[in-house]
Amino acid sequence: MGIIKAVNLIFDYIKRDEEEQIEEVDRAIDGLNLDIQEGSFVAILGHNGSGKSTFAKQVNGLLIPTEGTVLISGMDTRDENHIWDVRRTAGMVFQNPDNQIIGNVVEEDVGFGPENMGVPTEEIWKRVDESLEAVGMTAYRLKSPGKLSGGQKQRVAIAGVMAMKPKCIILDEPTAMLDPNGRKEVIRTVQELNRREHITVLLITHYMEEVVGADRVVVMDEGKMVMDGTPREIFSRVKELKEYRLDVPQVTELAFELRQAGLPLSKGILTMYELLGELVPYLKEQIRSQGE
């Protein structure tokens, strides 16, 4: 069984009027079944309102299922005795770096989580060291978080989660407010954590380029899982993605357009190197035969 398991998950946002009568029910997740293997890097795509952030909040027990079950390392999120263990297992990083930093000094911010968990002081410092090292922010440990760039702040937020030693980290659009450099920084950090520390990563994003390196891509629409596969499988279905209001990376789109025009290219090309590897020999051959 995977580290995160959702079984027939349903979640309704219930709006009540002043007399606590139910006024409106909005089904955000509608019968989701998902099993995520420990150590994998899973990206979740879906347009605004598709239910992906609601799902993220289910994973660390910020929201509790209306129906169905969410199991984190086998623990039911509905079981109040386990809620802290659930949150310790699955740490969360949000979109806005400014909303999740509380310390006046970077090292203090990173130590906040383990301190709250009652970790002994010596162990806290050890974890702060390790976490800052893991996100490449050791040089900034005595700086004020206010003076950092957006990408650096997000890396501090990730270090703060790491210091709680979670098995799994959920990132809800962690790069939406960052510039291209900051975006690269954060994604590279997350990929490293997954590869080196074998932390399970659940990345929610709107940027298709960030998904290319994932082990698995899940597409959500109307609270349901509508596509599930490797990035290559998913991005070879360009038309379907567009129907779900999503996009493909420019490289994939160019390859798709050229394929449509009859060029012999593989389906679901993801990187520039793949495209060039197929396109360059073909073009050279064509140009040579034109010359003859």
Partner 1 sequence: MSIRAVNLTHIYGQGTAFEQYALKNVNFEIQDGEFIGLIGHTGSGKSTLIQHLNGLLKATSGELYYNGENIYAHGYDMKGLRSKVGLVFQYPEHQLFEADVFSDVCFGPKNLNLSQGEIESRAKEALNLVGLDESFYKQSPFELSGGQKRRVAIAGVLAMKPDVLILDEPTAGLDPKGRDEILGQIEKLHREQGLTIILVSHSMEDMARYADRLIVMNKGEKMFDDTPRNVFRHYKELEAMGLAAPQITYIVQALRKEGIPVEEDLITVEEARDAILRLIGK
Q: Which residues between 1 and 30 bind partner 1 (CB under 8 A)?
A: none
Taking CB under 8 A as the binding criterion, the range among 31-39, 42-50, 65-73, 136-144 that sits at the site for partner 1 is 42-50
Output the six-digit token pair for 150.
Answer: 């957006």
Is residue 176 near partner 1 by the rule CB under 8 A? yes
Q: Considering beta carbons, is residue 120 or 262 the nearer one to partner 1? A: 262
Which strands form 216-221's sheet, in the order they lie side by side?
90-93, 168-172, 200-204, 41-45, 216-221, 224-229
Taking CB under 8 A as the binding criterion, the range among 79-87, 108-116, 229-237, 246-254 that sits at the site for partner 1 is 246-254
Is residue 105 near partner 1 by the rule CB under 8 A? no
Taking CB under 8 A as the binding criterion, the range among 68-76, 137-145, 189-197, 259-267 that sits at the site for partner 1 is 259-267
Is residue 221 near partner 1 by the rule CB under 8 A? no
Q: Considering beta carbons, is residue 36 or 208 the nearer one to partner 1? A: 208
Q: Which of residues 2, 46, 65, 111 is near partner 1 by CB under 8 A?
A: 46
Q: Considering beta carbons, is residue 112 or 256 the nearer one to partner 1? A: 256
Is residue 262 near partner 1 by the rule CB under 8 A? yes
Taking CB under 8 A as the binding criterion, the range among 125-133, 192-200, 231-239, 248-256 that sits at the site for partner 1 is 248-256
Output the six-digit token pair for 86.
Answer: 């659930």
Output the six-digit token pair for 270.
Answer: 């993801």
Rounded-to-5 percentages of helix, strand, coil across the chain: 45, 25, 35
What single DSSP character describes residue 178?
Answer: S
CA-based torsion, 95, 234, 30, 41: positive or negative = negative
Rounded to whole angstroms, the Cα distance separating 101 from 192 reads: 22
Q: Which of residues 197, 247, 274, 278 is near partner 1 by CB under 8 A?
A: 247
Backbone angles phi, psi at 96, to 5 degrees: -95, 110
**Least Cβ distance, residue 168 to partner 1 (angstroms):** 24
Q: Considering beta carbons, is residue 240 or 257 the nearer one to partner 1? A: 257
> Of 79, 81, 64, which is closest to residue 6 (Cα–Cα)?
64
Helices 180-197 and 121-134, axial angle in degrees (round to 10): 120
**Least Cβ distance, residue 263 to partner 1 (angstroms):** 8
